Amino acid sequence: MKVHHLLKECSVLNTFLKEIRDENIQKDSMRFRRNIERIGEILSYELSKKLNFGTEKISTVLGAKESEIIQNDLVICSILRAGLPLHQGILNYFDDAENAFISAYRFHPNDDDHFEIKVEYFASPSLDGKTLILADPMLATGQSLVSVYNAIAQFGTPKKIHLAAVIGSKEGVEYIKEYFPENTELWIADIDSKLNDRGYIVPGLGDAGDLSFGPKL
């Protein structure tokens, strides 16, 4: 797996990451969602450089012009509910992409640090031969992404997989490398050093779903 760690090179991305991490700024849920969306747009721009392009001739009012246009059949799949703002950011840049949605959450059967990943809902077009962009803002342990990947197998085999994440842990990145195809590419804004005892990214930013849409029961 090839990992594209975008924060290794400074850009306006630094500002958006700073704001979603800042515990005072992130209290504004609308601003938090918008920043996640903008990070999704940056990830999409960088990812687009690795897609396939073909020449298309168009006519302007003054003549003709050949343009290089994306040729991939794209499917964007986000993990509910935290993935929705990131999904929108990606969709902003890939207008013609098909869309898929899947639910995945941590289930603590004994109300302790041990958890299982529950996948209960998936709506998707066929993935056969498509370029799949799998979006999850927080790549913590990596178990959610792997569970989702296993669950979507019934909908076909993608030709290529791109993973899009905002913040991950080193441990999570290493974990998913064992389960995704070798030619998978991970596009991630920043990678933090560790997980705590409950499997949350440190320093991370908290619960992206709650910060986007409010606390859940």
Average pLDDT, the chain: 93
> In sequence order, which residues have a C-beta less than 8 Å from that of residue 10 and are 6 or more positions away?
none
Lowest model confidence (mean pLDDT) among 14-28, 119-133, 156-170:
119-133
pLDDT of residue 153: 85
Distance CA(48)–CA(41), nearest Å, equals 10
For the segment 39-78, what is each residue's pLDDT rounded down to a tens digit? 999 999 999 999 999 999 999 999 999 999 999 999 999 9
pLDDT of residue 199: 86
Distance CA(52)–CA(39), nearest Å, equals 22
143-155 in b/e form (b: 16+ CB < 10 A) is bbbbbbbebbeeb
pTM given for the model: 0.92
Percent of the chain having pLDDT more than 90? 81
pLDDT of residue 125: 93
- 216 pLDDT band (50/70/90 cuts)? confident
Distance CA(157)–CA(138), nearest Å, equals 24
Lowest model confidence (mean pLDDT) among 44-48, 95-99, 195-199, 206-210:
195-199
Out of 3.10.25.10, 3.40.50.2020, 3.40.50.2300, 1.20.1250.20, select the CATH number for domain 2-51+71-213.
3.40.50.2020
pLDDT of residue 174: 97
Residue 140, helix vs strand vs coil: coil
As a 3-state breakdown, the chain gives helix, strand, coil percent values, each rounded to 5, of 35, 35, 35
Q: What is the mean pLDDT of residues 23-28?
A: 95
Distance CA(132)–CA(181), nearest Å, equals 12
Residue 106 scores a pLDDT above 90: no
Residue 117 scores a pLDDT above 90: no
